[in-house]
Structure 1
Amino acid sequence: MEPEPATERDVRALAARHGLDLEPGTVRFEEAGLDYRVAFAAVSGTAEQWVLRIPRRPDVAVKVADERRILDFVRPRLAAAVPDWRIAGPELVAYSLLPGRPGLTLDAAGQPVWHYDTASPEYARSLAELVASLHRLDAPAAAAAGVPAATPDQVRQRWAADLERVLGEFDVSAELMARWRAWLDDDGLWPRSTVLTHGELYPAHLLLDDGDRILSVLDWTTAGVGDPALDFMYQHLIAPPASFAATVRAYEELTGRHEPRLAARCEALVAAGPLNYALFALASGEPEHRAAAAAQLRL
C-alpha cells in the first residue's frame, strides 16, 4: 500500500483517482479508528457530504470485499440506514454521509464525549428494535450471500482456537487464563443458536436523531452469523443495569427469543477484550500494537 494520505491535498488526490471531486477546504479528519483513517468532505459544486475510509494496513484492505458483501445483504433488509459504498477498493472506500449524529465521539485527548444519555429509555428501546430486526434476518440466506457464518459449536471452537493462538505468541497472566478457561468450559455461557449479528453495536457506530433513536449503523467489518450476545455486549458495558434490562425485555417482546444468562455472557465477551486485541495485534503486524497487547495480557 502507498503511504497513508496525511493532508487534505493527499485525500483530494486519492478521491480524484477514483472519480470523486472534493470541494477544497471541506476535508476534515477523524483519527479514532484503528483500521481506517476517516475523512469527511463535500463533493465539488454540491452540498453533498461524503465519508471516505482509507485502510491503514494491507490486512484491512483485503477485507473490503467481505464487508461490501455484508452491506449488500443487510441494506435492503434493515430499517436503519447502512453505508452504500459508491467506491470500494483496497485504497479507498467512500459513500454519502448517513443521517444522524454519533452517539459517542472522542475529543482531541482521546477521551469519550457522549451525545446521548446512556440511561435514555428511547435509546434502550431503539437498540432493542435494531437488534431484533437484525436477528430476525435469514441467517442461511446471509451465509449463502457470503456473510461469515458459524454454528454454536463453531463459535465456541473458534474462541478456543484463538486462545491457543494467542498463548503461542504471548505470555498471559494466570488470572486471565483462569477466567477464559472457565468461560470456555461453562456450557451456559455459549449460544444455543446463532443469528446475524453486527458484532460491535458501540455508540460510536450508531447515528442517532435528536430523540436518541437509531437512524444509521456504521462499521460492519465484524458482522456475521454468530453469538446473539455480541449485539448486547456494549449496552451491558455502558448503560445502567435498568437500561440494559429494558433493552433485553423489549427484544424478547419483539422476537419471542430468550437468551439464557445474557448478562453473564456479555460480561464474558467484555472480559475477552485483551484476547481480541492480541488477535488484532497479530493481524496488524505492527510492533506498537503487539507491545500494548502484551501489556494487557500480563495484567
Structure 2
Amino acid sequence: MSTLDDALGLAALHALPLSPNGATVVEAGLDYRVIMATDETGHRWVLRVPRRPDVSEGMAAEIRILDFVAPTLRSEKVAVPDWQIRTPELIAYPALPGAPGLTLSDAGEPIWHMDPASQDYAVRLGRLLARLHSLDAMEARTAGIEVRSPEQVRQTWQDDINRVSREFTVAPALSEAWHSWVGDDICWPDRTVMTHGEIYPAHVLLDQDGAITGVLDWTTARVDDPARDFAFQYGAAGDEILQVTLDAYEQAGGHLHPGLAAQSRHLWEASPLGYAIYAQTTGAEADRAAAAAMLNPEA
C-alpha cells in the first residue's frame, strides 16, 4: 500500500473521509511526510505522517507550542495549524490560507514561488519575528515549552561540536571555524526568545499580494537564540536582505543585540553540524553518508 493510501486510510478511521483525486504527497520534510487532500465538502486538509517513533514522541510538545503562539499570531492575521486529529500515527488539520513560498520538485530541487531577495518579504518577516520574539519566556516555560538560557544555548553548540567530532571526520578549516565561533563572545545572545527555529519560505504561507498568512511546522520551536529565525534569510539572500529584515525587526520592537547579524551567518554556516546531529538521530546510512560529505567535502 502507498503512503497516500495509508494516510487516507488512517484519516478515514478517524471519521475524516478524504478523496484520493487530486491528493498530493510531499516527501521533503525530514520528520514528516505531508499529504494534501480534499474532503467531501471541498475543503483541503493537511495530513502529517511521522517518519520515526521519536517524531511521534515530540507531538505533545508541539501542541503546547501551537496553543501558546496561536493567539498572538492570530492577532497579526497569521494562522498556525489547528490539529483536529492528533495521534502517534497521524496529525490532520484544515489547510491554512495562502501558499508556501518554496517547494521541492520530485527530484528534490527547490522551486521558488517568491523572490527570496524580496525586500517586501524581508520587511514582513522582520515584523512577524519581532512579534513572535516578544512572547514572554517565563510564560512559555509555564506553558511547558522548552526554555534555554544564553549560557545553555552556547554550551549546547559546544556539546554538539564535540559529539559530531567524535563520530565524523570534520575538515580542519570547518572545525577551526566552529571553535572560533563558540569562543567569540560578541556573537552570542544576551537574552533568549520564543523562536520558530525553521522559519523559511517552505514553512511560510503567502497570499497573492505577498502578505504572510500562515506559518507551518513548529516542531523545533522553543525559547532559544533569536538568530535561529534569521539564519535562512542570510543563506537565501545574503547580507543585504538580512539587514533589511533586521532593520524591520528592530523598528517593530525587536531587540537587536550587537552580534545578531554575525550569529545569523554563523548558524547558516553551521548547517552541516545540524545535519550531522540529524543523521545521528536517524541512524540511517544514507543520512550519515550525506553528513560525512558535508563535514569533509574534499575527502
Report the TM-score when normalising by structure 2.
0.94
Distance of aligned partners of 1:241 and 1:160 in 2 relative to their CA distance in 1, 3 Å threshold: closer
Q: 141, 144, 157: which is aligned to 1:143?
A: 141
Q: Could you tell me how far apart the structure 2 residues matched to 1:285 and 1:9 are? A: 27
Instruction: Between 9-18 and 55-64, report the one with greater CA deviation.
Output: 9-18
Task: Report if the CA contact (8 A) 2:189-2:260 is conserved.
Answer: no
Which residue does the alignment assign to 1:91?
A: 89
Task: Report if the CA contact (8 A) 2:4-2:35 is conserved.
Answer: no
Runs of 4+ in 1 over 4 A off after TM superposition: none
Q: How do 1:8-157 residues align onto structure 2 when only pairs under 5 Å count?
A: 8-43=4-39, 45-78=40-73, 79=76, 80-157=78-155
Q: Could you tell me how far apart the structure 2 residues matched to 1:36 and 1:17 are? A: 20
Q: CA deviation at 1:57?
A: 1.0
Give the secondary structure class of the aligned counterpart of 1:204.
Answer: coil
Which residue does the alignment assign to 1:189?
A: 187
Superposed CA deviations along residues 31-69 of structure 1, whole A, max 9, x for unmatched, are 1111111101111x2111100000011121111111111
Count how many residue pairs are aligned between Structure 1 and Structure 2.
294
Distance of aligned partners of 1:158 and 1:64 in 2 relative to their CA distance in 1, 3 Å threshold: same
Q: Are 1:221 and 2:211 matched, yes or no?
A: no
Once the two structures are aligned, what percentage of the paired residues are identical?
51
Q: CA deviation at 1:150?
A: 0.4
Q: Could you tell me how far apart the structure 1 residues matched to 2:5 and 2:148 are? A: 43
Give the secondary structure class of the aligned counterpart of 1:162.
Answer: helix
Q: Could you tell me how far apart the structure 2 residues matched to 1:228 and 1:105 are? A: 25
Give the secondary structure class of the aligned counterpart of 2:92.
Answer: strand
Counterpart residue type for residue 99 of structure 1? P
Q: Could you tell me how far apart the structure 1 residues matched to 2:228 and 2:121 are? A: 18
Q: CA deviation at 1:290?
A: 1.2
Q: CA deviation at 1:291?
A: 1.6
Distance of aligned partners of 1:274 and 1:24 in 2 relative to their CA distance in 1, 3 Å threshold: closer
Superposed CA deviations along residues 114-173 of structure 1, whole A, max 9, x for unmatched, are 111223232111101110110111111011111111010010011111111112222212
Give the secondary structure class of the aligned counterpart of 1:28.
Answer: strand
Q: Could you tell me how far apart the structure 1 residues matched to 2:244 and 2:273 are? A: 29
Q: 160, 164, 169: which is aligned to 1:166?
A: 164
Can you give the 5+ residue segments of structure 2 that lack an aligned partner in the other structure?
none
Give the secondary structure class of the aligned counterpart of 1:84.
Answer: coil
Distance of aligned partners of 1:167 and 1:30 in 2 relative to their CA distance in 1, 3 Å threshold: same
Counterpart residue type for residue 25 of structure 1? N
Report the TM-score when normalising by structure 1.
0.94
Q: CA RMSD in A?
A: 1.4
Can you give the 5+ residue segments of structure 1 that lack an aligned partner in the other structure?
none
Q: How do 1:188-267 residues align onto structure 2 when only pairs under 5 Å count?
A: 188-255=186-253, 257-267=255-265
Task: Report if the CA contact (8 A) 2:117-2:236 is conserved.
Answer: no
Task: Report if the CA contact (8 A) 1:102-1:208 is conserved.
Answer: yes
Task: Report if the CA contact (8 A) 1:122-1:211 is conserved.
Answer: no
Q: 270, 279, 299: which is aligned to 2:268?
A: 270
